[in-house]
Structures are given as structure tokens and as C-alpha cells.
Structure 1
Amino acid sequence: MRRLWTPAWIGRHVLTIALVAGFMALGWWQISRAAAGNTLSWAYAVEWPIFAGFVIFLWIREARHTLRGGDRAEPTAPAPPPAGTPGVRRPVRSARTARVLVPAQESDPELSEYNHYLAWLNANPGARPGDYPGPGR
């Protein structure tokens, strides 16, 4: 239970109480408007308590998650070294690619140039689009 009394959780408790009280007050206000003859307000009178219920649902879910130990920090893998660091090899990631057959002769020069660009990107997986040398190279 101590996990639910940290400064962050106290803020969540206060926010939950404020939101639920505000949503219920808005629902009551819509009921008074509906009783005065505004028929659309009946829908809002139902909607605001649903919002309050959703806030309570989220609060309960997060509290259970915290009590089960979900807030404990998981160990993470160290960040890879920046590119160009001497003496350090960066791991190579392999990616699955689909092979698409492209006709040898295309009538549209823009499409042909774009396909050449895509083929170049596929052949150079570590390259950036700005490294593209241009068509026909």
C-alpha cells in the first residue's frame, strides 16, 4: 500500500477525485437543463457519469498494476555506441524483404527512375535517402 502514497500517486488521487466530482457536477447540471425542457441534455446527463466511471476504471487499473509491482524499473539494454566510434563494431540488423519483379522496359521514365531508387535503397540497407547518387549511377 505504500506504493500508492508516493507524490506521483497522491497527484493521481487528487486528479481522480477532481475529475469524478467535476464530471458528476456536469451530469447534474445537464439533468437540470433537461428538466427545464432541453431534450438533448438527457444524452449529456448520461454521458458525464460514464466519463466519471471511466476515470474510476483507469484509477483502479493503474493501482492494481502498481500493487502487482508493475512500476519497478525493468533493466534495459545499453544504448549502442554512436556511429564512427573507433574500435567498436555496431551490430548489423537483418530485415526481411519481399522481392518484387519489375519489368525490364517501362514506358514511364519517372516510374523507372523511382524503381531504380527503390532498388538502390534495397541494395544499400544502411544508407539514407539523401545518400542516393541519382538515376543511372
Structure 2
Amino acid sequence: MQRLWTPAWIVRHVAMVVLVVGFLGLGWWQVTRAAQGNALSFGYAIEWPVFAGFVVFVWWREVRHALRAAPGPSTAPPPSAAADPEPVTTTPAVRRPVRAVRVPAAPLDGADDGELAAYNRYLSWLNANPGSRPGDYPG
């Protein structure tokens, strides 16, 4: 439990308490406004306690995560070089992107249409000149 009393965790605990008290206070304020006849405040009177519950949920989840991820005493024997002669390779967390070469597709049957050919030339020009506007097309 000492892991949860570091300066960073104390700030988290205080922030959780301040947010929950603030959200519940805002919820109570909306209840009093709704009692005075403001119909919209009924929705907010429900919303603020939900926010407070979400803060408690996230705080509890982070506490559980910190307690589970804590290093404990290791019961496994130390690895020896003779027991495992092959090095263990790990998969990198970030992989290099795959580069795909773009090759224009072969024309289909009946693609000898003049308008289609002109449109394809226009698209090829736009692809070759990425910074230009369509109005700059010389054709």
C-alpha cells in the first residue's frame, strides 16, 4: 500500500476527492434549481452525479492497475546460459509501415473513350502535382 502514498498518488487522491465533492455539489445545486421550476436542471441533476461516479471508477481502476503491476518477489530461478542456448527474440511493439507501389491499372475493354482518357490524364496530373489546385491544370 505504500505505492499509493507517493507524491504523484497523493495528488491523484486529492484530485479525486475534490472532483467528486465538486460534482456532487453541482448536482445538488441543479436539484435546487429544478425544484424552483427550471425543467432543464433535472437532466443536469442526474448528469453531475454520473460524472462523480465516473471519476471514482477511473480512480479505482488506476489503483487496481497500480497494485497489480507492482513488482513482487521473483520465485523463478535466474536464467542460465547453458539452459537456453538460443536467444529469445521479441516482436517489436511498433512495426515499419508497408510500402505499396502504385501502378496504374491496365485499361479495360472499351476504355478508348476520349473523355475517359482525358479524365485519366487529369487525374494523373493531379497525382503528380499534389500541391497544385485543379484550376492549375494545363490541359
TM-score range, shorter chain: 0.5 to 0.7
TM-score with structure 2 setting the length: 0.60
Equivalence for 2:20: 20
Deviation of the 1:97 alpha carbon: 2.8
Give 1:82-93 correspondences, 5 Å limit. 93=96
Cα root mean square deviation, aligned: 3.1
What is the letter of the counterpart of residue 118 of structure 2? S
- Name structure 1 gaps, 5 residues minimum: 72-76, 78-92, 119-128, 131-137
Distance 2:70 2:103 in 1: 44
* Count of matched residue pairs: 99
Tell me which stretches of 4 or more aligned residues in structure 1 moved more than 2 Å.
Answer: 96-106
Equivalence for 2:60: 60
Secondary structure in 2 matching 1:107? helix
Distance 1:35 1:94, change over 3 A: closer
What is the letter of the counterpart of residue 102 of structure 1? A
Deviation of the 1:110 alpha carbon: 3.2
Distance 1:15 1:94, change over 3 A: closer
| CA offsets 1:68-125 (integer angstroms, 9 cap, x no match) | 1169xxxxx8xxxxxxxxxxxxxxx56153766435683133312244x39xxxxxxx
- Name structure 2 gaps, 5 residues minimum: 72-91, 132-139
Equivalence for 1:111: 123
Identity %: 56
What is the letter of the counterpart of residue 21 of structure 1? V
Distance 2:97 2:13 in 1: 46
2:98 matched to 1:95? yes
